[in-house]
């Protein structure tokens, strides 16, 4: 099913609630991720130290776990933050960056699946690997199409009771039974560091919204694709695309 790509109703809720989103994300994308959340109307925070992360995840509306620059101390902090979020009834989202390609992060992500993520967002190779159906991609880059990973995403959703979003040229968002399909975006989104990781943060924030979580996550994917399309129309290349993308997110709906 192709949903309303913009979903103004969900966007209104997102901006009204301004979800406080705890992003334990990778070092490469922190600034861009924060700016994407701010442009959409959320409130980002990057709290990494284990004791503070554990405390803050119970306060925040949502938690993102992105393993892009995983270390042993950071893994410990992430686990403490997840356990605290779960105890407080706050949703957490997993971005399994490069899972399958690297052993340590693969083992860690497989272990924390038992802590019941609300959502999982990854590229096709990451989702296939997390579901145990592939060895992974080429580092952080997928070597599979999103369509080929849809059965794995559906199986993973049924296994974990999470909403799984496998994203790429086409995005598929599934709860294992229902699936929404989103088209759009632009190739330039793959030429700017952090668009996928930022999408995971928006997905995490959307998990805190009222209503159908599948619809809310599909809306999050739709906002990013729509902004990518708009930004590409006003860009000459990656350097001009990034600020145009933030502006496009800010202007979505054109009502403030």
Has 189 been labeled as part of a binding site?
A: no
Give dist(CA 157, CA 163) in Å, integer. 6
Residues 6+ apart with CB under 8 A from 13: 209, 210, 211
Outline where the chain has alpha helix (H).
8-17, 30-40, 50-59, 72-88, 103-112, 124-130, 146-160, 195-206, 213-232, 238-251
Has 46 been labeled as part of a binding site?
A: yes
Q: Which residue has the tokens 């330039």?
A: 188
Helix (H) or strand (E) holding 22: strand 20-24
Has 167 been labeled as part of a binding site?
A: yes
Residues annotated in a binding site for ATP: 121, 167
Residues annotated in a binding site: 46, 121, 167, 194
């Amino acid at each position: 099913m192709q949903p309303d790509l913009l979903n103004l109703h969900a966007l209104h809720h997102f901006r009204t609630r301004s979800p406080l989103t705890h992003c334990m994300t990778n070092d490469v994308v922190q600034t861009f991720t924060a700016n994407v959340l701010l442009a959409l109307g959320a409130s980002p925070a990057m709290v990494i130290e284990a004791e503070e992360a554990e405390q803050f995840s119970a306060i925040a509306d949502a938690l993102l776990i992105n393993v892009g620059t995983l270390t042993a101390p950071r893994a410990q902090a992430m686990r403490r933050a997840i356990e605290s979020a779960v105890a407080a009834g706050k949703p957490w989202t997993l971005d399994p960056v490069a899972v399958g390609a690297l052993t340590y992060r693969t083992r860690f992500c497989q272990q924390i699946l038992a802590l019941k993520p609300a959502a999982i967002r990854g590229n096709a190779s990451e989702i296939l690997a997390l579901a145990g159906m592939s060895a992974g991609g080429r580092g952080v880059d997928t070597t599979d199409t999103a369509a080929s990973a849809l059965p794995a995403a559906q199986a993973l959703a049924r296994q974990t009771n999470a909403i799984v979003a496998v994203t790429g040229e086409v995005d598929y968002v599934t709860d294992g039974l229902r699936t929404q399909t989103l088209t759009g975006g632009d190739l330039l989104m793959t030429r700017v560091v952090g668009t996928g990781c930022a999408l995971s943060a928006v997905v995490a924030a959307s998990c805190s919204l009222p209503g159908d979580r599948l619809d809310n996550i599909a809306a999050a994917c739709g906002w990013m694709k729509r902004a990518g399309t708009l930004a590409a129309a006003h860009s000459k290349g990656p350097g001009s695309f990034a600020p145009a993308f933030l502006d496009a997110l800010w202007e979505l709906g054109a009502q403030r």
